[in-house]
Each structure stands twice: as structure tokens, then as C-alpha cells.
Structure 1
Amino acid sequence: MSEPRARPDPAFALLEVYEAALPQVYGYLLARCGSRAQAEELTSETFLAAVQSARNGGGPVGPAWLIGIARHKLVDHWRRREREERGLRLIHADPDIEDPWDEHLDAFQAREVLATLSPNHRCALTLRYLDGLPVPEVAKLLGRTVHATEALLVRARAAFRRAYPGGCDD
């Protein structure tokens, strides 16, 4: 009878990509949440989730896979914030605002304005315009229907335009 052999922990595959992936994951999160402390916390959550996923037979371990996990952690963070702030505000759409979304915006001002928006609006705009995801993918990540996501994006763009210094339409 042979001795049972211990199988290596699949999470050790993360060690091979950790050094290269850490700055990419942290940079991705920092650019989207704007807070170093929050980016650090989400980065640690990302790697903890990656270890768990690797142990459960998750995807191919690599930087792109880790960025995908980071994206989900960021969405989860914004959902938590939205739930916390939900009772504090009234969301309404302004039908008189035109849609100059293709205008060139100052990146620094745009980031500051995004930080003032509700987590739901910030999340939708970030996924759609910073990450460049199509609306159906944004809907999937947010756990909404495509139509509900389109409506959310309309409200989020209107809120962004109202908050952007000097307006962003001509």
C-alpha cells in the first residue's frame, strides 16, 4: 500500500505572478476609486479572493484574471456604498439636459466629479467609460437588466454633467 501524497496548494500559482500583478491590480483600483487606502484594501481583498478561487479550481492564474477579480471587488465596494447612501438622497432624471458625453473632459476634474457622485453612478460610469465595457457587460456586473443599466447610465451622465465645473456641454 502506498502512502497518500499531499497535493500542492493550487494557490501557490499566485506566488509566481504576484510580483508582476500587484502593481497592475493596485494601479487599476487606485485609478478607479481615487483613494490609496481604499485601493490598498480592495487590492488585499482581490488577492484573498484569488487564493480562494484558485483553491476552488478558478480560472487561469494571471494578471488579466486578477484584474477581473479586482473589477468585481470594486463593484462590490460600490454596491455596499450605494446601500449605505440609498436612504440619503433622491435620484431623479433631468429630461432637459442634452447628452454631450463625447466632449473632451479634463481628467483631473472628471475624477473629482466622479468622486462626488453616488456609488451606483460612479460604478456605472467607470465600467462603461473608463473600462470601456459594453452596456450588457456593465449590466451583468451590476446585476441589473440592460434596460435598467441604460436608465442608470442616463441618470449618471446627467448627474455628472450637473456636477462638472462649468458644465460639459457647449
Structure 2
Amino acid sequence: MADMELPHEPAAESLDTVLMARAGNGDHDAFRQIVERHQHAVVGTVAKMLGDPAEAEDIAQQVFLRLWRHAKRYRPEAKFTTYLFTITRNLVFNESRRRGRRKEVSVEEREDSANFHLPAPTEREPDSTLLQGELQAAVDKAIQSLPEAQRVAVVLRRYEQMPYEEIAKVLDLTVPAIKSLLFRARTTLREALRDYLDD
């Protein structure tokens, strides 16, 4: 894609603002560029928050659909990514609640579906690779067990390297509240992953 170079974040941010203004005027090409620039981050974030990569694409589509519908009303009062991930957060929370109401599935069935699916060891696959895969699966499962706000904060901080201030805006909380959320989340994760961390 031969679009403008993005040497640093402020330039990237102003490009998003320009593209959103054009999208607000019905420019489909500008909106396509926004999707291309951010869909990987949105899909990845949704997958981590829901623990369901298969459904992440659908939710991400809804995020961008909502973004398109609201493009006319978009005002760059906060960073574009804050706006984008606030929409993402709302849709993920809605989906989590919908699942909570719908799911009277037994714990065993739920754990079966979230199982690690690790291949049997072979001569070609060293133990270290298997352990790495098992650890990643355990981390993902531990993140899933966190309360909603903690989960969002951890995913945005760990995988999107989002600053505390921006996470605070996405979750509509103060920066100290975000730091407190992350502290509690890390304590919970450390406890859940104790078997892996102690070795």
C-alpha cells in the first residue's frame, strides 16, 4: 500500500484524524485505509479479551461497522485509538454478557473447548517448543479468568503497549485506578501461573 509514511505517532494520529474526516463525508477509500491500519490490532485485542479467535473477526467487523456509522459525528477530542478501543471495549463487554446469559454449559465442557490442543511430542518438536506453547495457552486462559475491566487493561497494556492515560480513557477510569487494576490483575495472573514461574 503506497500510503503516506508514518514516521512517528503524532503523524499517525493526524493521518487517522484526516481519514476519519474524509470517511465522515462518505469517502469509502479513506475508511478502507482506516480498517487496513487498525484491523490487526482490533482483531488481536478482541481475540485476547474473549479467548475466541474464531469470533474475533465478527466482533471486529461490528467495531468497524459502528465506526463507519458514527464517522460523521467523530470529533478528535481524544486520540483516535482511544475512540476505536472504546467502541471495541463496549462490543466485547456486550458479547461477554450475552455469553454469560446464554451459557449454562457445564464447567467441564467449557474447559474442554479451551483445552490446549498441544500436539504429541515428536523428535522434530523439542520439549522447549511444547513448553512455550503450553505456557502461552496458560497465560491466555489466566487472562480469560480476570474480571472484565482487568482483562481489558491487561490486554491493552501488554499487547497494544497502550499508555496508562489512554487505557484510563478507554475504561473511563482514573490513571491511579488503572494502575490499581493492573496491579490486582498481575497478582492474580502470577498466582494462576505459579507452576510455570516457579520452575
Match of 1:12 among 17, 28, 31: 28
TM-score where L is the length of structure 1: 0.61
SS in 2 for 1:106: helix
Question: Are 2:86 and 1:72 equivalent residues in the alignment?
Answer: yes
Residues 157 and 19 (structure 1), Cα distance of their counterparts in 2 relative to 1, 3 Å cut: closer
Residues 70 and 111 (structure 1), Cα distance of their counterparts in 2 relative to 1, 3 Å cut: farther
Between the aligned partners of 2:89 and 2:69, the Cα distance in structure 1 is 19
TM-score where L is the length of structure 2: 0.53
Structure 1 residue runs of 4 or more that deviate by more than 6 Å after TM superposition: none
Which structure: greater helix fraction?
2
Between the aligned partners of 1:131 and 1:19, the Cα distance in structure 2 is 17
SS in 2 for 1:155: helix
RMSD: 3.6
Alignment of 1:71-150 (within 5 A): 71-80=85-94, 81=96, 106-150=135-179
Between the aligned partners of 1:71 and 1:46, the Cα distance in structure 2 is 9
Residues 165 and 37 (structure 1), Cα distance of their counterparts in 2 relative to 1, 3 Å cut: same
Give per-residue Cα distances to partners, 1:107-159, cap 9 Å, x unaligned.
33211211122212211111112211122221121111111111111111111
Between the aligned partners of 2:158 and 2:46, the Cα distance in structure 1 is 15
Identity of aligned residues (%): 22
Aligned residues: 139
Residues 109 and 141 (structure 1), Cα distance of their counterparts in 2 relative to 1, 3 Å cut: same
Alignment of 1:2-41 (within 5 A): 10-13=26-29, 16-17=32-33, 20=36, 24=40, 25-41=42-58
Structure 1, gaps ≥5 residues long? 1-7, 60-64, 86-103
Residues 148 and 26 (structure 1), Cα distance of their counterparts in 2 relative to 1, 3 Å cut: closer
Q: Is contact 2:82–2:166 with CA below 8 Å preserved after alignment?
A: no
